[in-house]
Structure 1
């Protein structure tokens, strides 16, 4: 308790004590620079982007609407990552600051952002739920980066992330329990859960990432293909690579969690990487296998960020011959935590700190 020599009145001493304490709290809490404002997004909704049952034909208008509806969250994720990693040349955000990023993330968490996935007609938005899961992975990644950068996360951040991740885990478990076939989205959710387990030592998240990895080991075919992604028709290569990317990230997180990689684990994911590499070089073979006239190629820089960052030891000669080598700012991915090379470093760092 503060003391005030020469002040005789106990009421006055109490008043002065409260005033000084309040001033001290304000001095600590005050942000030294003006932070930008990002309105917390309460609802995530988007139209389905595929016009066929196989998920192979993209509806351009629906995709444009989805991109527009997702811009507020993607902008916020980009601001957060630029504040931590440093801005790329195309940055248009002002007030980049680690302290602002941490405070703004707490504001979104306190507001229970992304609580609903309801479309304009009041119905459940399936695409919105998928997008929310991807954004949640981005926020888990940002929290990992903030913590390894020395920031103290706000009191609402971890409970909020746990809530969003737990919602998805429940959906995935019910989906698999009813005999549905999980694919790249399941593997993405596994990576999200592993990130949360690394950040918080959450037991359910830890258990779920193990369930997802075991599921992958059961689902992969002898030639390295995945039935769930062969079903995607023209986009079979795109989604094989998407599944591979998430599994490469999950593999790195499992290492950080102290889970040893068994020979069978390595062999299975290497088989998938080889299959994707071969299909890049010989897409006609995959087209014949899935019964389409042509295979859509992999999506630009986006398709190679995870493989170069988290799985370079798995890439065969086909990747070198038919793939793409990235450099510099090409590694930036909003839901990947920003610069994915720095994301990988943060995962390793947090794993090392957790095991001390």
Structure 2
């Protein structure tokens, strides 16, 4: 709550709405859409509100460029994932100090062409540094919440809850600025995923749990509003699909049927739009990056499919054949992109897609629910991923079970 410092007493029902603290995000009508190539513009900024933190020794100042959105995580170096994942896994035994909240989020435009398909390596590296505080927080929080779920911690003030409470109190993620939409969205998704894990075992609705739920609920309502205005049906793309996954998770946490219904609507429209070749039209416009973005859309769509079915929305099964066509075509294109290249009209960028954790997760979930996907190349099991709160590194096939139906929904103020 504004001006309040320190934790809310356990058992308190006091909480605040974040509606007044969360300004409308920048419009997204031009984000992730083909555009005319323009000279790069740059400006100076301070990345969020940071003090001294483990990921750097001094205040982080970066030169940033306007970023129009996209599946940004594809370009993060594997070494950075390994570094933060290792740090997170080594700190489950105690509750570390909460990293300073990142309030403002800006973006870096690392594409140089009108289709958003050619990346500037220097800008990609700059972006990796820019988002390091958010990735650090997400991986640490995810590892902590994983540990609490594994230990079946119930009741009390969990470490993950303490972290999320502090960020909620400090207004984290409440100032998305021009160009920062994609990073803002994926950070909300990650925080919501970690909290959902906590609520699957904790089942608490004390003051802090309500505070966190209200914070996430306000942020996700802003996301949905922004998507509805900037990407109405017919223009929805990979970021809309990630927003749908986040909306479903937060809808469960807050007991908000409008969010879960919106997520299912996005899911259904996405699969209705799959071409006869098995691809998403919105991502074919990305030229040589079309496979990247079809695969990036596959992850949240697969997550929504399983979560919805597990929580009583059986109607999602009606789109299973279109989902299977989409997943099968996208994974087949990893080995033989000829069909996709014909649809796009340009060669597809060659890359090690099997090394991407989102791709590995999609395959793991698909095969748990539908059986072996024969066209998929051999790949390792999914590992920690900051966008998903590190979970889904399955010890065994979960039979499509992501979260139990018993996630505790906390009543929140409506935004």
Q: TM-score range by the shorter chain?
A: 0.7 to 0.9
Q: Deviations 1:111-167 (Å, cap 9, x if unpaired)?
A: 12111123xxxxx22xx1111100100011011111123274623101110111011
Q: Structure 1 residues 202, 39: CA separation in 2 closer, same or farther (over 3 Å shift)?
A: same
- Picking from 148, 167, 170, the partner of 2:200 is 148
What is the Cα deviation at residue 302 of structure 1? 1.8
2:142 corresponds to 1:81: yes
2:167 corresponds to 1:108: yes
Kept in 1, the 8 Å contact 2:296–2:359? The answer is no
Kept in 1, the 8 Å contact 2:190–2:386? The answer is yes
What is the Cα deviation at residue 218 of structure 1? 2.6
User: Any stretches of 5+ residues in structure 2 without a counterpart?
Assistant: 1-7, 13-92, 149-156, 410-415
Cα separation, 1, equivalents of 2:407 and 2:145: 19
Partner secondary structure for residue 111 of structure 2: coil
Partner secondary structure for residue 295 of structure 1: coil
Cα separation, 2, equivalents of 1:342 and 1:109: 29
2:360 corresponds to 1:305: yes
**What's 2:110 paired with?**
49
**What's 1:95 paired with?**
none
Cα separation, 1, equivalents of 2:371 and 2:389: 22
> Which one has the largest radius of gyration?
1
Cα separation, 2, equivalents of 1:102 and 1:117: 23
What is the Cα deviation at residue 258 of structure 1? 0.6
Bigger relative CO (Cα 8 Å, ≥ 6 apart): 2
Cα separation, 2, equivalents of 1:195 and 1:237: 26
Kept in 1, the 8 Å contact 2:204–2:408? The answer is no
**What's 1:92 paired with?**
none
2:111 corresponds to 1:39: no
- Picking from 224, 243, 257, the partner of 1:169 is 224
Kept in 2, the 8 Å contact 1:43–1:115? The answer is yes
Kept in 2, the 8 Å contact 1:256–1:352? The answer is no
**What's 1:7 paired with?**
none
What is the Cα deviation at residue 266 of structure 1? 0.6
Q: Structure 1 residues 295, 286: CA separation in 2 closer, same or farther (over 3 Å shift)?
A: farther
RMSD (Å), alpha carbons: 3.0
Cα separation, 1, equivalents of 2:247 and 2:327: 22
Map 1:1-356; keep pairs closer than 5 Å: 35-86=96-147, 99-118=158-177, 124-125=178-179, 128-150=180-202, 152=204, 154=208, 155-177=210-232, 181-261=235-315, 264-297=318-351, 298=353, 300-312=355-367, 313=370, 316-319=373-376, 322-326=377-381, 330-341=382-393, 348-352=402-406
What is the Cα deviation at residue 354 of structure 1? 6.7
What is the Cα deviation at residue 331 of structure 1? 2.1
Cα separation, 1, equivalents of 2:314 and 2:202: 28
- TM-score using structure 2 length: 0.67
- TM-score using structure 1 length: 0.77
Q: Structure 1 residues 26, 333: CA separation in 2 closer, same or farther (over 3 Å shift)?
A: closer
What is the Cα deviation at residue 222 of structure 1? 1.8
Higher helix share: 1
Equivalences, count: 307
